[in-house]
Structure 1
Amino acid sequence: MTQFRLFTVLATIIGSLCATGAQAANYGFIQEQLVLEDTLKPVKDTTFLSEEDLALLVEYIPNEPNEVIQDRLSCIESDMPLVFNNFVRAHIDYFTIRNRKYTRKMLTRENVYFPLFEKYLEKHNMPRDLKYLSIVESGLNPKAASWAGAVGLWQFIKVTGKEYGLEQNQYIDERMDPEKSTDAALRFLKRLYRTYGDWELAMAAYNCGPGNVNKAIRKAGGGKRTFWEIFPHLPRETRSYVPNMTAVIYAMNYAAEHNIFSDSILYTPDVAYLELNKEVDLEKLAEELHLTKEQLMALNPELKTTKIPQHLLNYRIKIPAQSAKLVASANDKDCILLAAAPVKHPEPETAPEPAKSKALLASNTEEKPDKDETKPTDKITYVVRRGDNLSNIAKDYNITVEDLKEWNDIKGSSIMPGQKLLVMKPADEANTTLLAVNKEAAAPAKATPAKSAIEKIKKESLIYHVQPGDTLWTISQKHNGLTVEQIKRLNKLKSNAIQPGQKLILG
């Protein structure tokens, strides 16, 4: 019976490989692009298989028909199109049949990084499924490095990393800092989405660069603006990149249906932060914290050396939360214990700077809080209108342009109609300003500002400005009782394609 089952499983694997032989060459990019802890090697003789690999051979490996795979993909609620075809099927087979070990490893690691990714995706109002792109890029390995010099969870090359504020020198490489690189990667992807209005094209441009995507669009005739329309004209690696993303989303959502389970789940450890005040030897610091050097460096993958020099004053590193008491009791003047550490590009909702340890800051007990910390603040969402610029918006709200740019992570000065901007105002001013700010809400001569604003809100409740990441389905979910077909009929849409800034009638 055992021999018969083994024969059946081997036959299934061989049959799958033969069926996808035309796409076999495309699997090469996975081995080149993803840095795996274990090198993938073709197996020719079972005599040399490890016990783990032998166990994999005799496990039950489902080989679902196309109809089942396609139906499961359609059941995944995603803001991105999950196209199914033979090419995508070949990649799904890679993760569910050929390299089940890799999918199992991703299930083990996902809880370490996905909460962080989801936090920043929510901050940037981007599709949650983009968290799976780091699996395609690096296999959730912050130390991953490619032959082309791309590094980290999101595989930044040096030039792009510097463009997005990731510091790189002989001591640190912030492309390997999970938090800073995640924020940078999502800002880059958001910029690409604003360019193409399509998440598949944005991902393709992330992989091969906007120049190659633009070239493919021109070769396809210029009028074709979806990934699959320009597919034949894209670089070979990029032709596999987006299908690989779809396959990863499928495999991670339906691993159990393919009998893929992780035997161990990793989680993000609780950490505290140290701000270094002068040159520090991390090996000695690790000893004082009762850690090994490897443990301390693993918490800070961006560190390239155990020596933090003087010129990196105030650099922040992570330590285990349980080790924080040791630092506080030592009253070490070389570093300051922080309750938390904001990243270089803080969220608009970032709380005030964390309180510093009393044991370490006894000399600073006379410090007074900033005046803004004594006032409660309200958050106002402003929708950019045609003709708006940062200066007039800042003037209307009695704030500075610099604050407006910082709250919304704006690097230049350009804004787009329909774009949402966060404005922070003292609570006693917010309600008054909200009623008076919109220039287009001009009230009749005898109307009060409050009445005018209310009338405008009622009027514009029927119009929706499409935001980056929106789909007809997500918009319909925000408006109870409205279906996708109703939205298309009201706006005379022939397809589900919509663009950021586009106005939709919803009533």
Structure 2
Amino acid sequence: MNIIKSLSLPLMLCGALMAPLTAMANSCPYFCSESIASDYDFAMTIDNMEESIREGINESVKIVKPVYDSRVRSYLRTYIELQPRYTEEMIGRAEIYFPLFEKYLEAYNMPTDLKYMAIVESGLRPLATSPVGAAGMWQFMRPTGRQFGLRITQYIDERRDPEKSTEAAVKYLKQLYERFGSWELAMAGYNAGPGRVNSAIRRSGTNDYWELQRYLPRETRSYVPGFIAANYLFNHYTKHKLVPKRPHSDLLNTSVVRIYEGMSFTDINSATGVKMSTLRILNPMYSRRYIPQSVIGYQLQLPTMAAAILMAHLGIKEEDLSKYTETLLPVITGADLAFKEQTVMRNYRVKSGDNLYRIAQANACSVNDLMRWNHLNSSNLRIHQRLNIQVTERVAVYPDITSRKMDPIATLPSLFEIGITLPEFKVTHPSTCYKPTRRLELPENAIVLKRRMSVADAIRLNSEDTTSDVTKASFKRAMPGYVVVLED
């Protein structure tokens, strides 16, 4: 929400917007290894495509004036020419976060194009932190975050929670739009604060953003152009031969488990085999990688298969499932599960009083290992220096449950033990018996009913031939997590 005010525009674009570029490019925990490489043509520069870009902006940008000026051009040059690989990763992350943004924007009757503001704010990085302390994808400062109901404690920072921070940002934007009456001014108010926008209106004698912008802070004058550039980019990146990097499936197929007892990410990794980097991406709100004890419970997001493993590890009984999750999970047994060890590099920041011997002892390695991993010529360290430390993680080898052939009779009870998550699909007719074809084999007489329906209700509905009434209510858009039962 707040960006350094002393930066020039080109430096702001490459610095504040793209802050952790190098780290992200080196680690890339978001993306699957088989992502398609782009065939970027450096001859297709911004300067050579001016007319096409102008047409694309006029076509795509709806909620603000579709201006194409030097500031928009600078943003696009950074995205497309200077940092195309980073941009491909950012577009890939949209597959994770844009559906969430759209859900809340639609719920509050707001234009879904506002989702592109998160590109300007953070590049879709929940762990982003600005030099002035704004945090999360929507870059809330602490006071504003608390004003809109976000908890900020020593263990939890909900400014980094994708779901809660998105709802808070949508509420704030709605309030700003109702106050100023234009999306340009609402965006300026989001970035600089409503007080500065009011001051600019008074000094300029107009409420036209493009007329009063010279009275706004420097980075706020570039905020709406940044939004226009992001809007164009996400609608026309194929023109520039950019290929989004597809996120790993563990980040797309997830379930939420409610945790009541204190649990560290290390405990969760040991129980489920989910990589620490994946846990951090899915649960960025836990500042110390620890979920504190709570009588109301805290949400933990996991890959769906891992959520089922954790439930089994915690010994959750079937009758208690609704207390821990509303998601229907695959049935996991000990025979299904195996683990493998995987070597990864962790980052360690040197603190006051550290030396190589102490760091080696704490990480079960030798001084020679540390020097080899970090190409050190001497044992001298400096405070805040970053060291690579090789560690071994326990990674789950998930069973290929979704490819198993299911016996219609034997499967019915097990499906209701914990349930099974379906890929999204559409049903062509309310009363049609439908067989999903994507990744899950089911009997021909399988149908889908409302989630969390009891076995008794499912049997009654099937026997009383009232299925069509249920399907008319629930088949408008069948979502992952509906219960599969069998029709007689």
Residue 272 of structure 1: CA displacement? 1.9
Query: Does the 8 Å CA contact 2:260/2:294 hold for their aligned counterparts?
Result: no
Question: Contact 2:13–2:75 (CA<8 Å) still a contact in 1?
Answer: no
Q: What amino acid does structure 2 have at the position aligned with 1:329? A: A
Question: Offset of 1:188 from its aligned partner?
Answer: 0.4
Superposed CA deviations along residues 240-287 of structure 1, whole A, max 9, x for unmatched, are 111111111112222221232235455642222222222234422321
Match of 1:339 in 2: 326
In the alignment, the residues of structure 2 paired with residue 275 and residue 176 of structure 1 have an alpha-carbon distance, to the nearest angstrom, of 18
Using the TM superposition, give the Cα deviation of residue 299 of structure 1 relative to its aligned residue in structure 2, in angstroms: 1.6
Give how far 1:231 is off.
Answer: 1.4
Which fold has the larger relative contact order, with Cα–Cα distance below 8 Å and residues 6 or more apart in sequence?
A: 2
Question: Using the alignment, how far apart are the partners of 2:218 and 2:153 within structure 1?
Answer: 33
The answer to whether the aligner puts 1:151 opposite 2:153 as a matched pair is no
| Partner in structure 1 of residue 89 of structure 2 | 105
Partner of 2:171: 187
Matched to 1:292, the amino acid is K
The residue aligned with 2:238 is 256
CA-CA distance at 1:152 after TM superposition: 0.4
Specify which of 284, 303, 308 is matched with residue 325 of structure 1.
Answer: 308
The CA distance in 1 between the partners of 2:137 and 2:159, in whole Å, is 8
Q: Indicate yes or no: 2:195 matched with 1:234.
A: no
Give the alignment partner of residue 271 of structure 1, picking from 242, 251, 254. Answer: 254
Q: How big is the shift at 1:311? A: 4.2
Residue 217 of structure 1, aligned match among 201, 204, 211:
201
Q: Give how far 1:27 is off.
A: 2.0
Residues 258 and 326 (structure 1), Cα distance of their counterparts in 2 relative to 1, 3 Å cut: closer
Shift of 1:39: 4.6
Is the contact made by 2:41 and 2:240 (CA closer than 8 Å) also made in structure 1? no
In structure 2, the partner of 1:280 is 263
Distance 2:71 2:275 in 1: 46
The alignment status of 1:295 with 2:295, answered yes or no, reads no
Equivalent-residue separation in structure 2 for 1:101 and 1:293 (angstroms): 24
Mark the CA change 1:230 to 1:77 in structure 2 (over 3 Å): closer, same or farther.
closer
Shift of 1:293: 3.5
Distance 1:275 1:132, change over 3 A: same
CA distance in structure 2 between the partners assigned to 1:180 and 1:294 by the alignment: 21
- Alpha-carbon separation, structure 1, partners of 2:122 and 2:246: 20
Measure, in 2, the Cα distance between the counterparts of 1:97 and 1:326. Answer: 44
TM-score by length of 2: 0.58
Describe the shift of the 1:266–1:119 C-alpha distance in structure 2 as closer, same or farther (beyond 3 A). Answer: farther
1:424-439 equivalence runs, <5 A: none
Say whether residues 1:196 and 2:180 are aligned partners: yes
In 2, distance between residues paired with 1:196 and 1:308?
A: 40
CA distance in 2, matches of 1:319, 1:289: 9
Task: Look up the equivalent residue of 2:142 and give its one-letter code.
Answer: K
Instruction: Give distance in 2, aligned partners of 1:266 and 1:127.
Output: 29
Distance of 2:278 and 2:80 partners within structure 1: 33
Query: Partner letter of residue 181 of structure 2?
Result: G
Q: When the two structures are superposed, what TM-score results if normalisation uses the length of structure 1?
A: 0.56
Cα displacement (A) at 1:315: 1.3
CA contact (8 A) 1:33 1:137 kept: no
Rg bigger for which structure? 1
The separation in 2 between residues aligned to 1:56 and 1:206, in whole angstroms, is 37
Superposition pairs for residues 81-92 of structure 1, below 5 Å? 81-92=65-76
Counterpart residue identity of residue 247, structure 1: A
* Amino acid in the other structure paired with 2:220: T
Check whether the contact 2:257–2:301 (CA below 8 A) recurs between aligned residues: yes
Indicate conservation of the 8 Å contact 2:10/2:74, yes or no.
no
For the structure 1 residues 281 and 101, does the alpha-carbon distance in structure 2 shift closer, same or farther, using more than 3 Å as the test?
closer
Q: Is the 8 A contact 1:133 1:245 kept in 2?
A: yes
- CA drift of 1:226 comes to 1.7
- Pairs aligned (count): 315
How much does 1:126 deviate? 1.1
1:286-323, Cα deviation, whole Å (9 max, x unpaired): 21223233332332111112433334641121122112
**Which one-letter code corresponds to 1:208 in the other structure?**
A
The Cα shift of 1:146 comes to 0.4
Unaligned runs of 5+ in 1: 1-23, 41-54, 342-356, 360-375, 377-507
Q: 1:284 to 1:97 in 2, by over 3 A?
A: closer
Unaligned runs of 5+ in 2: 1-6, 24-37, 329-415, 419-469, 471-488
Q: Map 1:379-458 to 2 at 5 A.
A: none
Is structure 2 residue 298 aligned with structure 1 residue 315? yes
Alignment equivalent of 1:205, drawn from 177, 189, 194: 189
CA change 1:200–1:288 in 2 (3 A) is same
Q: Which amino acid aligns with 1:253?
A: N
Alpha carbons 1:107, 1:265 under 8 Å: kept: no
The aligned runs of 1:352-391 (5 Å cut-off) are none
Which piece of structure 1 moves more, 296-305 or 64-73?
A: 64-73
For residues 89 and 236 of structure 1, what CA distance do their matches in structure 2 show?
A: 17
- Residue 74 and residue 292 in structure 1: after superposition, are their counterparts in 2 closer, same or farther (change >3 A)? closer
CA distance in structure 2 between the partners assigned to 1:159 and 1:188 by the alignment: 13
Contact 2:258 2:300 in 1 (8 A): yes
Aligned equivalents of 2:53, 2:41: Cα separation in 1: 23
Q: 1:79 to 1:168 in 2, by over 3 A?
A: same
| Residue among 162, 169, 183 paired with 2:153 | 169
> Alignment partner of 1:310: what SS?
coil
Counterpart amino acid of residue 171 in structure 2: R
| Cα distance in 1, alignment partners of residues 89 and 290 from structure 2 | 32
Contact 2:13–2:78, Cα closer than 8 Å, also in 1: no
